[in-house]
Structures are given as C-alpha cells and as structure tokens.
Amino acid sequence: MLVFLGYHWIVRKALVYRIYPTKKQATLLQATLDECRWLYNHLLEKRKEVL
C-alpha cells in the first residue's frame, strides 16, 4: 500500500507468519498471554482510579 505523506510516499508492508507450536509451547504461550492480559487490565484499572 502506498501512502502519500506531505512530499513523501511511504510504502507499508506487512509480513504474515503461521506458527505451529508443540503442545508444551502452546501451553507456555497461552500462560504468557494470560499474564500479559492480566497485567494490562490491572494497570488500566489503576489508571482509571487515578483519573
């Protein structure tokens, strides 16, 4: 996709990869994503309390 920005053209590219994790890797990945989701939601809640 070409995007015109002022006097410059910017080319945007995206690469898509497919992964096939083992069961152990999938379990670890899910646990990591769960922790990230919990942390994000926790910090969002704290931010809302302050504002």
Domain ranges of the chain: 20-51
Q: pTM for the complete prediction? A: 0.62
- In this structure, what DSSP letter does residue 51 have? -
What is the model's pLDDT at position 1? 63
44 vs 4: CA distance, rounded Å: 35
More confident residue, 5 or 47: 47
Average confidence (pLDDT) over 34-42: 98
Tell me, rounded to whole angstroms, the distance of Cα 34 from its chain centroid.
Answer: 13
Calculate mean pLDDT across residues 10-29: 90
The DSSP result for 16-46, as a single string, is: -------HHHHHHHHHHHHHHHHHHHHHHHH
pLDDT confidence bin for 6, thresholds 50/70/90: low
Name the more confident of 22 and 3.
22
Are the beta carbons of 2 and 10 closer than 8 angstroms? yes
Q: What is the pLDDT of residue 46?
A: 96
